[in-house]
Amino acid sequence: MRPFGDRFLLTSQQTLQAEDRRVESPPLVLPIGRERYRIEGLPPAVRAQLAAKYEDLIVNDGQGEALVLRVRLTPSWNFVEIDPNLLLMDFDQQFYEHEVQLAGRNLFGRFRIAPSRAGTVWVSDSEGPLWEDLIGNCLRLMVAYSSLEPGGALLHSAAVIVDGAARLFVGNRDSGKTSLSRLALERGLTVLSDDLNVFRPLEADRFELIKMPFAGELGRTTGEAAGSWPIASLHLLADASQASDPMSLAQALASLVAASCFLNRDPHRYAVLTDNLLALARHCRPQWLDPTDQRALDRLLLQRGGHGAGAPAE
């Protein structure tokens, strides 16, 4: 087995920290879902870039409880020179009972899970246009772990609002989420995200979907800036051959686990994750959906209310 982070790091974590520096700048505070996230130590140009991207979310009150992401700059020679075409979501992760470590292109991060939730990320001081994506990925990780405790998870998915309720379409990369979302926009519907969404339980065995500021190819869509909606139906994107088959509960769980960002490889959180996903599957009765089936998509995007017809077998 390769040592953790050796694809990305040329020096030890201790060297990264010994050579780092903090930029003095006002913190950026973003309410995301049910939490506040305070990002400290951003270079001014990067802070302005992120502030422009999330201008509808920013709060000027930096006081109060928040999950903190501290940014530190470290010399570029600490990192392996990486092919610029490498996906920014390609990471090495290392899991501990109370901490998660992340190594990626020009980045190393440590994120405390308990007893306090906070993260520190070291970024190459030569990194330029990718800063926004690097910090965004760290926020994604923190949101994923924050969603777990109240019984939820962060899922690779597209979410569309139909008649005041959310239809959730779960699938990983190249599964058809963005194409489906474009179709929904053409139908005049609100798309919450074509990439990542958080679910969480409500009282009386109900579930809601919480809008996230993270988007895929479609970009952040106009409409609702923030909020939550009851989940009306849950669909797992699959090809035509699989979409015609009945779905078992085990298949539903496997698909949901595969779509659970960051958490699905963490042995310390896996049991909690699967419990949360099983509760969602049992309640929402997921169905397969072939994203190339135009008639099926039209029916889903036009019908009102309620869950889908199929229920996974026990």
Centre a 10 Å sphere on the Cβ of residue 292 and count the other Cβ atoms it contains. Answer: 14
Full domain range(s) for residue 70: 13-148
Q: With 60 as the cut, is the pLDDT of residue 309 above it?
A: no
Give the global pTM. 0.89
Q: Which of 148, 179, 213 is the last residue of a domain?
A: 148
- 238: CATH: 3.40.50
In this structure, the answer to whether residues 286 and 157 fall within a common structural domain is yes
In this structure, the answer to whether residues 112 and 24 fall within a common structural domain is yes
CA distances from 212 to 81, 285, 300 (A): 32, 23, 22
In this structure, the answer to whether residues 22 and 100 fall within a common structural domain is yes
pLDDT at 261: 87
Average pLDDT, the chain: 85
**pLDDT tens, residue by residue, 161-188:** 998 999 999 988 777 788 888 888 888 8
One-character DSSP codes across 103-146: EETTEEEEEE-SSS-EEEEEEETT--TTHHHHHHHHHHHHHHHH
One-character DSSP codes across 7-25: TTBSS-HHHHHHT-B----
pLDDT at 58: 84
Q: Rounded to whole angstroms, how far apart are CA atoms 281 and 252?
A: 7
- Taking each continuous run of H as one helix and of E as one strand, the counts in the chain are 8, 14
In this structure, the answer to whether residues 215 and 99 fall within a common structural domain is no
List of residues 6+ apart from 155 with CB closer than 8 A: 168, 170, 196, 197, 198, 199, 256, 259, 260, 261
Residue 141 maps to a domain: yes
Q: What's the mean pLDDT in 40-67? A: 85
**pLDDT tens, residue by residue, 123-136:** 988 766 678 888 88
Q: How many CA atoms lie within 13 A of 51 on its CB side?
A: 15
pLDDT at 18: 86
In this structure, the answer to whether residues 27 and 125 fall within a common structural domain is yes
% of the chain surpassing 90 pLDDT: 43
**pLDDT tens, residue by residue, 227-275:** 889 999 999 998 877 666 778 899 999 999 999 989 999 999 999 999 9
In this structure, the answer to whether residues 105 and 185 fall within a common structural domain is no
In this structure, the answer to whether residues 106 and 158 fall within a common structural domain is no
pLDDT at 178: 86
